[in-house]
């Protein structure tokens, strides 16, 4: 009953100066909306990053040269073969695919496009979780014969073959070499450069002979992709591969490795922790605007206390205690905080939806996630802002001497 | 045998203004019986506002004793003083002091909001009845700015009575009114005194107001003029 009474009084009093109340509230609305939408975008970015990485394949382990070690011996095809051999004695590794990478230009009937060339083995699709939308991947025979066959990514199709209905069987040129397209990779989402949709794949042997120019020696490769038999076996596989690589590279048990062995999981964790930091950063900046909104509440409540000094004096003369006056003014600022917070959550949700629409129209997948904990956090935070910034003006009001307050004009 | 409602003995009030002490009251003793109408008069600076504040429990005396309706209230805490104001004292101010946003009825009910520990039954009926008594039966939903000065002061009188106080303190109740409305308000106060037996203390410097009271207390320089 008393709370209801306080609420009605707060609404009446705030209602009597609508413009001022709504402007004060706007500060909180903007602050909360900023916090909610920033956190939502951050969460969305995080999940789209980890989705992209996950789409590269499960249970993946990568072995590459540690480029921070200056004297590092290159990772070679022989290393890859040795790991392949490990399969016979170990139950942790299911497939191995060495690869070389370079950038090159692909030409088809006068049009050209810039692609990422990967030379690899027929086991690549199973290791890297790659599927084909048409045609087939190259075979062991193609590999053994260094055949001039090529499998292209989906965005290469869009770039070069927008007017060609049948892509498989067409011939493309890379430098002076002509390749026959034998398969097209299924689109994997993600967007710009660096993702697999802009790749073309040829047999490693073909790449070594015709395309990749290496100053050192031809068995040098960029990456060994390994798939573990199950997620539980990833760490076992890493340990085994590390031990093998150490012995092959003549590194003592305690010596510094000149190669890196990374799991898909570790890469995902790194990327999402970057997104986490970004989210915190954005949220932190947004929280500052909420703080400014809180100062707005304090400012207006102080003005209101001064304006209503006489009313406070009267209420005290009629028997109001300090605590009655305190709660009256606290309720007003709490109300601004609460309503502003709720409106802010709505606005923040709206902003997230707009950003989702903008992102998808720009062919970027970003799904801002307005989660319940963010909504609760923002609402509680805005109520707290109302409380904290309301206390000082309310205390000032409650401590007014009735005689003095009644005398004010 | 008449019952004493206001028993003030040797009230002193000293204000500190910077480095000097200002003696607002230099020992005032006042006895007022239940049902009396008393006027407090005196030139400005004589201490009548200070006395009014002390009698109305808005302030505490520096020294002296004040027994209101049998209870010593000279040195009680701020919250207890607020409680006494709510229960025992009704205020009528020169400038009405109504809440501008609230209706006449809500204004009359305002003191009931601070009656703690006591459940007020039929608060609205009680307030409506008082508005009827002060002649504003059909104005209960009007806001202060829709009413004349005289009407606003009537609302204030109804508000002062709503908690059935033992004393009614009126500070220049006719000060802001024209003479016709002023006379009407004084007549209303006298009538309420007769009907309800409430003790009436009026601070004024208008002789025609003082004329309608039973007794006159004149203050000069913080003392009662003999």
Residue B161 has pLDDT above 80, yes or no: yes
In order, the DSSP letters of B20-86 are EEEEEEEEEEEEEETT-EEEEE--TTSSHHHHHHHHTTSS--SEEEEEETTEE-TT--HHHHHHHHH
The answer to whether A345 touches A36, Cβ cutoff 8 Å, is: yes
* Closest residue in B to A1 (Cα–Cα): B113
Residue B63 has pLDDT above 90, yes or no: yes
In this prediction, residue B171 has a pLDDT band, given cuts at 50, 70 and 90, of very high
Total-model pTM:
0.73
User: In this structure, are A16 and A135 located in the same domain?
Assistant: no
User: In this structure, are A90 and A219 located in the same domain?
Assistant: yes
Give the domain range for residue A19: 2-53+270-407
Which one of A315, A317, A321 has the shortest CB-CB distance to B58?
A: A317
Contact residues, A window 282-311, toward B, CB-based 8 Å cutoff: 310-311
Q: How far apart are CA A95 and CA A77, in angstroms?
A: 15
Contact residues on chain B for A10, CB-CB shorter than 8 A: none
The answer to whether A9 touches B114, Cβ cutoff 8 Å, is: no
Q: What is the pLDDT of residue A121?
A: 92
Q: How far apart are CA A237 and CA A228, in angstroms?
A: 6
Q: Is A235 exposed, middle or buried (0-12, 13-18, 19+ CB in 10 A)?
A: middle
In this prediction, residue A33 has a pLDDT band, given cuts at 50, 70 and 90, of very high
The answer to whether A399 touches A329, Cβ cutoff 8 Å, is: no
Contact residues, A window 310-369, toward B, CB-based 8 Å cutoff: 310-311, 314-324
Residue B199 has pLDDT above 80, yes or no: yes
Average pLDDT, integer, range B68-93 = 93
Which one of A320, A401, A406 has the shortest CB-CB distance to B114?
A: A320
Taking Cα atoms as reference points, which of A220, A140, A142, A211 lies closest to residue A175? A211
Q: What is the pLDDT of residue A338?
A: 92
User: In this structure, are A219 and A323 located in the same domain?
Assistant: no
User: In this structure, are A280 and A381 located in the same domain?
Assistant: yes
Question: Does residue A65 sit within a domain?
Answer: no
* DSSP-derived pairing of the beta strands B215-220 and B223-224: antiparallel
- Which tens digit of pLDDT belongs to each residue from B114-147? 987 666 778 889 999 999 999 998 999 999 999 9
Q: What is the pLDDT of residue A88?
A: 82
* DSSP-derived pairing of the beta strands A149-152 and A177-185: parallel
Q: State the alpha helices, DSSP H only, in chain B.
A: 48-55, 78-88, 104-113, 123-133, 149-161, 179-196, 207-210
Residue A1 has pLDDT above 50, yes or no: no
Q: How far apart are CA B220 and CA B25, in angstroms?
A: 10
In this prediction, residue A363 has a pLDDT band, given cuts at 50, 70 and 90, of low
Give the domain range for residue B163: 4-224
Handedness of CA B216, B218, B224, B226 (dihedral sign): negative
User: In this structure, are A250 and A333 located in the same domain?
Assistant: no
Task: Report residue A47 as tokens.
Answer: 């999940």
* Closest residue in B to A2 (Cα–Cα): B113
CA-based max dimension of chain A: 104
User: In this structure, are A208 and A236 located in the same domain?
Assistant: yes
Q: What is the pLDDT of residue A214?
A: 57
Contact residues on chain A for B103, CB-CB shorter than 8 A: none
Question: Does residue A78 sit within a domain?
Answer: yes
Highest averaged pLDDT of the listed ranges A158-167, A249-258, B55-64: B55-64
The answer to whether A391 touches A334, Cβ cutoff 8 Å, is: no
- B171 CB-near residues (< 8 Å, 6+ apart): B49, B52, B91, B92, B93, B94, B203
* Closest residue in B to A308 (Cα–Cα): B99
Q: Is A182 helix (H, G, I), strand (E, B) or coil?
A: strand
Q: How far apart are CA B201 and CA B39, in angstroms?
A: 6
Q: Where among A232, A257, A282 does a domain terminate? A: A257
What is the distance, to the nearest Å, from the Cα of residue A54 to the centroid of all Cα atoms in its chain? 12
User: In this structure, are A105 and A237 located in the same domain?
Assistant: yes
Q: How far apart are CA A319 and CA B83, in angstroms?
A: 6
User: In this structure, are A203 and A317 located in the same domain?
Assistant: no
Q: Do B78 and A5 touch (CB under 8 A)?
A: no
The answer to whether B198 touches B133, Cβ cutoff 8 Å, is: no
Which one of A311, A314, A320 has the shortest CB-CB distance to B82?
A: A320
Q: Is A100 helix (H, G, I), strand (E, B) or coil?
A: strand
Tokens 């208008």: give the residue.
B206
Q: Total structural domains in chain A?
A: 2
Which one of B79, B110, B116 has the shortest CB-CB distance to A318?
A: B110
Q: Where among A195, A224, A257 does a domain terminate? A: A257
Q: How far apart are CA B194 and CA A368, in angstroms?
A: 75
User: In this structure, are A33 and A92 located in the same domain?
Assistant: no
Task: Identify any residues that bridge with A263 across adjacent strands, giving them in sequence order.
Answer: A61
Dihedral class, residue A86 (left if φ above 0, else alpha if ψ from -120 to 50, else beta): alpha
What is the distance, to the nearest Å, from the Cα of residue B23 to the centroid of all Cα atoms in its chain? 23
Q: How far apart are CA A70 and CA A218, in angstroms?
A: 20
Contact residues on chain B for A403, CB-CB shorter than 8 A: 53, 58-59
Q: Total structural domains in chain B?
A: 1
User: In this structure, are A119 and A88 located in the same domain?
Assistant: yes
Contact residues on chain B for A316, CB-CB shorter than 8 A: 58, 82, 85
Distance from the B91 Cα atom to the nearest Cα atom in chain A, whole angstroms: 8
What is the distance, to the nearest Å, from the Cα of residue B134 to the centroid of all Cα atoms in its chain? 16
- CATH code where residue B35 lies: 3.40.50.300
Flag the least confident range among A137-141, A285-289, A332-336: A285-289
What is chain A's mean pLDDT, rounded? Answer: 86
The answer to whether A149 touches A182, Cβ cutoff 8 Å, is: yes
Tokens 């209706």: give the residue.
B103
User: In this structure, are A32 and A108 located in the same domain?
Assistant: no
User: In this structure, are A239 and A278 located in the same domain?
Assistant: no
Run of H or E residues at A203: strand A199-203
């Amino acid at each position: 009953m008393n709370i209801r009474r306080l609420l009605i009084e707060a609404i009446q009093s705030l209602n009597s100066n609508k413009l001022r109340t709504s402007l004060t509230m706007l500060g909180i609305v903007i602050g909360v909306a900023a916090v909610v939408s920033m956190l939502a975008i951050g969460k969305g970015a995080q999940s789209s990053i980890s989705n992209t990485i996950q789409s590269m394949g499960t249970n993946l382990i990568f072995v590459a040269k540690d480029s921070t070690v200056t004297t590092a011996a290159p990772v070679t095809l022989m290393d890859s073969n040795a790991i392949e051999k490990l399969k016979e004695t170990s139950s942790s590794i299911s497939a191995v695919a060495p690869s070389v990478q370079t950038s090159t230009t692909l030409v088809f009937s006068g049009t050209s496009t810039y692609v990422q060339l990967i030379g690899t083995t027929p086991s690549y699709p199973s290791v890297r979780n790659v599927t084909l939308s048409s045609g087939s991947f190259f075979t062991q025979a193609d590999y053994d014969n260094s055949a001039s066959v090529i499998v292209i990514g989906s965005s290469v199709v869009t770039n070069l073959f927008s007017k060609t209905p049948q892509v498989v069987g067409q011939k493309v040129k890379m430098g002076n070499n002509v390749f026959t397209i034998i398969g097209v990779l299924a689109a994997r989402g993600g967007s710009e450069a660096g993702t697999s949709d802009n790749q073309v794949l040829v047999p490693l042997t073909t790449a070594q002979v015709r395309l990749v120019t290496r100053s050192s020696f031809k068995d040098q490769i960029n990456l060994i992709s390994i798939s573990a038999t199950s997620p539980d076996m990833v760490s076992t596989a890493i340990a085994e591969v590390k031990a093998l690589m150490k012995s092959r590279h003549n590194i003592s048990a305690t010596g510094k490795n000149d190669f890196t062995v990374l799991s898909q999981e570790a890469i995902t964790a790194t990327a999402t922790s970057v997104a986490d930091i970004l989210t915190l950063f954005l949220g932190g900046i947004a929280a500052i605007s909420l703080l400014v909104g809180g100062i707005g509440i304090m400012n207006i409540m102080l003005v209101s206390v001064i304006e209503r000094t006489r009313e406070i004096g009267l209420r005290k003369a009629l028997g109001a205690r300090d605590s009655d006056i305190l709660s009256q003014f606290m309720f007003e600022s709490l109300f601004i905080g609460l309503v502003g917070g709720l409106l802010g959550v709505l606005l923040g949700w709206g902003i997230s939806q707009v950003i989702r629409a903008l992102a998808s129209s720009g062919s970027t997948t970003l799904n801002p996630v307005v989660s319940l904990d963010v909504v609760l956090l923002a609402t509680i935070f805005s109520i707290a802002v109302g409380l904290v910034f309301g206390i000082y003006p309310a205390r000032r009001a409650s401590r007014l001497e009735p005689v003095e307050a009644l005398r004010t004009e | 045998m008449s019952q004493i409602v206001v028993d003030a003995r040797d009230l002193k009030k000293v204000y500190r203004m910077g480095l000097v002490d200002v003696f607002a009251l230099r020992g005032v003793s006042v006895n007022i019986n239940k049902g009396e109408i008393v006027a407090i008069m005196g030139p400005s600076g004589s201490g009548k506002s200070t006395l009014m504040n002390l009698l109305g429990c808005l302030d505490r005396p520096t020294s002296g004793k004040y027994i209101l309706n049998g209870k010593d209230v000279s040195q009680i805490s701020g919250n207890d003083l607020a409680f006494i104001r709510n229960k025992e004292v009704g205020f009528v101010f020169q400038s009405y002091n109504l809440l501008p946003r609230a209706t006449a009825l809500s204004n009359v009910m305002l003191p009931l909001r601070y009656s703690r520990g006591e459940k007020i039954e039929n608060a609205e009926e009680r307030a409506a009845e008082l508005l009827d008594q002060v002649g504003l039966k059909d104005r209960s939903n009007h806001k202060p700015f829709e009413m004349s000065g005289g009407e606003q002061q009537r609302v204030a009188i109804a508000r002062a009575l709503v908690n059935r106080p033992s004393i009614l303190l009126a500070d220049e109740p006719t000060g802001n009114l024209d003479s016709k409305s002023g006379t009407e308000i004084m007549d209303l106060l006298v009538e309420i005194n007769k009907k309800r037996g409430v003790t009436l203390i009026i601070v004024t410097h208008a002789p025609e107001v003082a004329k309608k009271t039973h007794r006159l207390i004149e203050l000069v320089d913080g003392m009662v003029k003999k």
